[in-house]
Structure 1
Amino acid sequence: MIISRQNEKVKKIRSLKEKKFRAENNEYVAYGYKLVLEAISLKLPIVCIAGTGEMLERIGLKETLPGENNGYGFEVIAVSEEVFSSMTEEVSPQGVLAVIKKPSNELCPPTGDCILLDGISDPGNLGTIIRTAAAADIKELYLADCADAFNPKTVRSAMGGLFRVKVCECDKKTAVSLINKPIIVADMDGENVFTYTKPGDFCLAVGNEANGISDYVKNSAKIKVAVPMSNGIESLNAGVSAGIIMYALKNRKK
């Protein structure tokens, strides 16, 4: 069991909190019992799992000894609770994490309905949208000038959604050129999404929390849609709005 915060493996995992080191190592971290179990179940490219002895036992894993081939396909690292706390920014850490290889950022046209996120800056909102997209059976998301999809806060908010969708990080011009579907913009001045009838597949574009959709994406769009609101409410959280519109558009196809 590792009891020193200065252990090289611990320092490496800790460094993955920062985007720079996630990019250099092509790895990210998923924290918590549920996400670790999902990563194992989905056979993701796990580099290592680190946790307290209690949590590793709960999952059914044994610490990897030096030179041992444990048969898991990844290393298992046991650490003290103090050391684990140094590797996470969670207020109430669950005592287990997985370091996972990032998927390739291969840019290609969507295979069906997709999402274009234009400047979503809050990791929590981004994670919520990824989670909702996965639930709505949307396979591809294009992220232009957004928060990092592999930020620990995004991964946590996505609740496993990140494991089930393809995330393409690119600039907005590249995204628009790749997307071979009608682009529908979420905009407060748009048509009521619940009465809009749309043929075929679509790309829903959602803009920055404060400034909305960029002019470039807006000018590339076929139509604008909005969620009708009452009682003087002028806008919704980006994640909430995206979720409502996603499901409304999906429902119109039935």
Structure 2
Amino acid sequence: MSGIYDILSIRNPGIKELFRLRVGRRRARMPKGQCVVRGRQIVQAISEHFKFDKVFTHESRDAASFYNADKVLRTPKAVLQHVLFGPKAPSQTLDDGDLVIGQIKQPEATEEFEPSPRCLLAVDKIKHPENMGLLLSTAVALKFDGVVFSTECVDPFCYKVLEASQAVAWTLPYRSFATPQQLVELCDRHQLLLCAAHKDGKALSEVSQLSSSRRGFCLVVGNEADGIQKELLSRCTQVALPMSELVESLNAGVAGGILLHALSCTWVQQRK
């Protein structure tokens, strides 16, 4: 059973640390290797498989005893609101479940995708948490083998991305790449066709003809404003979605999600 304690003051060291983790950028969190997760539903979903270091909640002792955590800290709503929003009160009415905060060790990057992957997602400089969350959710839903992040992406383990994805990507193996060459080498090592979402790319029907010598594929989705960095784009098979002339483009999360599904279907059909 978890240890249950009461914290009443906003000046408590544990509350101050939680606030720093919540507002801090990746550099502030990485030395501690900790993530902050907000919301009862997400906390409970993750805790089915992983134990939290701490869970902060305003709930009764009976309710608090069900969390999978080393410590459950009962804290007034006003203190939890301060952690989440600072001195600024939220404009919308919060559900009681929103004021449950988990503090947990961040999953470590994998040294290698095992067994050898067939389907990977590569995310290049995506900045908006909503897009990152949508891409990760789609990759999990389609049973992708992992995700590779460029070092300039939004932090995939910041609380905004975790909320946007409902933390479904928590168990998705991940790695990072600092240069395009590192991603190219990873794909060559696993015999993956490196594809890039691009408006001037090939139709999906043509991709299967290029992939006969490859075991699988890796789809790169680029930055919302600038797309995929040129050096990486030049090394990719560029893939486009057929769209009406009435629509200039789709955002990165939507377009990437459609292509993840389309490429998966194309690959399955080819292997039959």
Q: TM-score, normalised by structure 2?
A: 0.82
Residue 133 of structure 1, aligned match among 139, 149, 173: 139
Paired positions, count: 242
Which residue type is aligned with residue 5 of structure 1? I
Aligned counterparts of 2:205 and 2:44: Cα–Cα separation in 1: 38
Question: Matched residue of 1:36: which SS?
Answer: helix
The alignment status of 1:5 with 2:5, answered yes or no, reads no
Aligned counterparts of 1:174 and 1:104: Cα–Cα separation in 2: 19
Question: Matched residue of 2:15: which SS?
Answer: helix
Q: Identify unmatched segments of 5+ residues in structure 1.
A: 63-71
Equivalent in the alignment of 1:238: 252
Which residue type is aligned with residue 218 of structure 1? L
Aligned counterparts of 1:214 and 1:161: Cα–Cα separation in 2: 28
Q: CA RMSD in A?
A: 2.1
Question: Matched residue of 2:30: which SS?
Answer: helix
Equivalent in the alignment of 1:193: 204
Equivalent in the alignment of 1:220: 235
Q: Contact 1:139/1:164 (CA < 8 Å) preserved in 2?
A: no
- Would you identify which runs of 4 or more consecutive aligned residues in structure 1 move more than 6 Å? none
Aligned counterparts of 1:183 and 1:122: Cα–Cα separation in 2: 23
Residue 155 of structure 1, aligned match among 152, 162, 173: 162
Which residue type is aligned with residue 198 of structure 2? D
Aligned counterparts of 1:194 and 1:100: Cα–Cα separation in 2: 44
The alignment status of 1:74 with 2:70, answered yes or no, reads yes
Aligned counterparts of 1:134 and 1:194: Cα–Cα separation in 2: 24
Q: How does 1:19-168 map to 2 (within 5 A)?
A: 19=25, 20-42=27-49, 44-54=50-60, 57-58=62-63, 60-61=65-66, 74-89=70-85, 92=94, 94-109=98-113, 111-144=117-150, 145-168=152-175
Q: Quick check: 99-108 or 22-31, which moved more?
A: 99-108
Structure 1 position 139, deviation (Å) = 2.5
Aligned counterparts of 1:99 and 1:112: Cα–Cα separation in 2: 33
Q: Contact 1:2/1:83 (CA < 8 Å) preserved in 2?
A: no
Structure 1 position 193, deviation (Å) = 2.8
Question: Matched residue of 2:84: which SS?
Answer: coil
Q: Contact 2:123/2:153 (CA < 8 Å) preserved in 1?
A: yes
Q: TM-score, normalised by structure 1?
A: 0.87
CA 1:60–1:231 in structure 2 vs 1: closer, same or farther (change >3 Å)? farther
Q: Quick check: 196-205 or 233-242, which moved more?
A: 196-205
Structure 1 position 41, deviation (Å) = 0.7
Identity of aligned residues (%): 24
